[in-house]
């Protein structure tokens, strides 16, 4: 389990010194403001994400928590404030865990189009058992009518689906559609028709017999 070392609130500890403000709280834990190292947190966020538990090392002891909310700078998208939710021992939580597709599909090699239907999976379990992400092997998609359902996924022990139907489609193969290119109609040159008609009229007039 990854950990983050916290620091108590102090006037001199600002983001300019490499810290960002944060707070941790829980059902039995009062809201407590802290500061966390900016670089350390970005690494934990990238590795653990918001679906895995982490250890907060505080002056009052260690707390098992999850990243509840991250406020980002609207310009640079860097974290500027973080909320941590402290978990009770044995407490189950439900999270949406990202799905990562791996492997190669024979159907794709034969011209099929790989369609990602789901990008995350809603699951429930003890935080220590929740995976950072679910890897889905698309090598099971061998034909152009192949489909991977939620029920085909193997969940870790202690992790269950949360409000998800096992028949829901995770990924499938679609036949490639040939693009039909319609030729643009040739524009009619009305001026040329007018000139040609006028020329014929003048020619006809010249051949007409003179009136007596």
Domain boundaries, the chain: 3-89, 94-174
- The low-confidence residues of the chain, meaning pLDDT below 50, are 179-181, 206, 208, 211-212
The strands making up 134-137's β-sheet, listed across from edge to edge, are: 134-137, 93-102, 120-125, 159-161
Beta strand pairing status for 113-116 and 134-137?
Answer: unpaired
pLDDT at position 205 is: 52
pTM over 0.75: no
**Structure tokens belonging to residue 79:** 């974290």
CATH 2.40.240.10 corresponds to the domain 3-89: yes
pLDDT at position 140 is: 92
CA distance 98 to 51: 9
pLDDT at position 35 is: 92
Alpha-carbon torsion angle 79, 7, 9, 22, nearest 10: 30
List, in sequence order, every residue forming a beta bridge with 70; answer none if it has no partner: 82
pLDDT at position 180 is: 47
pLDDT at position 14 is: 57
pLDDT at position 208 is: 47
pLDDT at position 34 is: 92
The residue assigned the tokens 């009619």 is 188
CA distance 52 to 65: 9
The fold adopted by the segment(s) 94-174 is RNA Polymerase Alpha Subunit; Chain A, domain 2 (2.170.120)
């Amino acid at each position: 389990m990854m950990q983050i070392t916290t620091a108590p609130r102090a006037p001199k500890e600002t983001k300019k010194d490499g810290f960002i403000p944060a707070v941790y709280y829980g059902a039995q834990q009062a809201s407590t403001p802290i500061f966390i190292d900016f670089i350390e947190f970005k690494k934990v966020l990238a590795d653990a994400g918001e679906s895995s538990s982490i250890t907060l090392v505080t002056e009052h002891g260690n707390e098992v928590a999850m990243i509840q909310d991250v406020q980002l700078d609207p310009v640079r998208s860097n974290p500027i404030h973080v909320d941590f939710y402290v978990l009770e021992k044995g407490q189950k939580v439900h999270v949406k865990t990202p799905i990562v597709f791996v492997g190669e599909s024979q159907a794709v090699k034969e011209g099929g189009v790989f369609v990602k239907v789901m990008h995350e999976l809603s699951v429930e379990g003890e935080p220590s058992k929740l995976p950072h992400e679910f890897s889905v092997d698309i090598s099971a998609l061998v034909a152009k009518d192949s489909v991977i359902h939620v029920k085909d996924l193997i969940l870790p022990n202690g992790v269950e689906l949360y409000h998800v139907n096992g028949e829901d489609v995770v990924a499938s193969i679609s036949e490639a559609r040939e693009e039909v290119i319609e030729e643009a109609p040739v524009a009619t040159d009305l001026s040329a028709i007018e000139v040609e008609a006028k020329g014929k009229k003048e020619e006809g007039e010249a051949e007409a017999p003179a009136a007596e």
